């Protein structure tokens, strides 16, 4: 029997539909690195009626971004209206896009392939967001320098330190490599220069 499966997540609702022996891709879902997360499947047949949850078994397999397998054909827990599999902390430590394969067999049969993304914040990767927070910190520093207010400048400098340390530990938009390392060090270096400047002005 052909069926449709709707995938629901805590951070939002993403609708997908697929049929027996067919696979489709869906937009990535975003999971916080090192956190727990419930993957929930709701099942409907072609008449949009609930599937027979008691007599349909769904299994899930998940691959890391490098292709290594972290979950292999694990049975999802059947509830009255959905299937569930909980990702634990050890399964959400690797940043990147994870590929998921779901197979349901029994009164209803289906197969689907989809993805979710693990990143530091658990939200959609957006370089614009990171650029914005750096821009805001820079604006605070410029305001402090323009008004010659050491406390406003110190607030902006502290923001640069925190942003640089966050980029250093967590990466940028889910990526952590030599480029993000260099950006982190530049931001921290800029904060250090501003700190020295404020110290000199305080002494004078």
Each residue of 7-42: pLDDT tens digit? 233 223 322 333 333 223 344 577 887 888 888 777
> In whole angstroms, how far apart are CA 127 and each of 124, 162, 171?
10, 17, 11
- Within this chain, do residues 110 and 179 fall inside the same structural domain, yes or no? no
Computed over every residue of the chain, the mean pLDDT equals 75
Domain tally for the chain?
A: 2
Instruction: Of 16-20, 48-52, 53-57, 157-161, give the lowest mean pLDDT range.
Output: 16-20
| Mean per-residue pLDDT, 44-55 | 74
Among the three residues 119, 139, 165, which one is the final residue of a domain in this structure? Answer: 119
Q: Distance between CA 131 and CA 136 in Å, rounded?
A: 9
Among the three residues 119, 148, 173, which one is the final residue of a domain in this structure? Answer: 119
121 or 22: which carries more pLDDT confidence?
121
What percent of the chain lies above the pLDDT cut of 90?
8
* Predicted pLDDT at 125: 56
- Within this chain, do residues 18 and 79 fall inside the same structural domain, yes or no? yes
* Predicted pLDDT at 96: 82
- Within this chain, do residues 20 and 91 fall inside the same structural domain, yes or no? yes
- Within this chain, do residues 196 and 108 fall inside the same structural domain, yes or no? no
Query: pLDDT tens-digit profile of 81-117?
Result: 788 899 998 888 888 888 988 888 877 777 778 888 8
Q: pTM to 2 decimals?
A: 0.54
- Within this chain, do residues 23 and 75 fall inside the same structural domain, yes or no? yes
Give the residue numbers spanning the domain of 73. Answer: 3-119
- Within this chain, do residues 103 and 156 fall inside the same structural domain, yes or no? no
* Predicted pLDDT at 45: 67
- Within this chain, do residues 107 and 135 fall inside the same structural domain, yes or no? no
- Within this chain, do residues 103 and 179 fall inside the same structural domain, yes or no? no
- Within this chain, do residues 10 and 96 fall inside the same structural domain, yes or no? yes
The three-point CA angle 160-166-170 to 5° equals 155
* Predicted pLDDT at 18: 32
137 or 21: which carries more pLDDT confidence?
137
């Amino acid at each position: 029997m052909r069926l449709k499966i709707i995938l629901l997540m805590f951070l939002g609702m993403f609708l997908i539909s697929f049929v027996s022996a067919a696979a489709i891709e869906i937009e990535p879902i975003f999971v916080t690195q090192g956190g727990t997360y419930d993957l929930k499947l709701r099942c409907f047949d072609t008449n949009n009626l609930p599937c027979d949850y008691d007599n349909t078994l769904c299994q899930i397999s998940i691959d890391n971004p490098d292709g290594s397998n972290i979950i292999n054909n694990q049975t999802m827990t059947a509830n009255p209206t959905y299937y569930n599999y909980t990702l634990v902390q050890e399964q959400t430590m690797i940043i990147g896009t994870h590929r998921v394969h779901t197979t349901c067999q029994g009164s209803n049969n289906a197969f689907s392939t989809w993805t979710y993304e693990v990143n530091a914040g658990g939200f959609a990767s957006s370089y614009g967001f990171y650029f914005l927070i750096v821009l805001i910190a820079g604006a605070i520093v410029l305001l402090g320098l323009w008004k010659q207010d050491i406390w406003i400048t110190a607030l902006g400098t502290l923001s640069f330190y925190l942003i640089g340390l966050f980029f250093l530990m967590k990466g940028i938009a889910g990526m952590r490599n030599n480029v993000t390392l260099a950006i982190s060090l530049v931001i921290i270096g800029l904060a250090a220069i501003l700190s020295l400047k404020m110290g000199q002005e305080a002494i004078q």
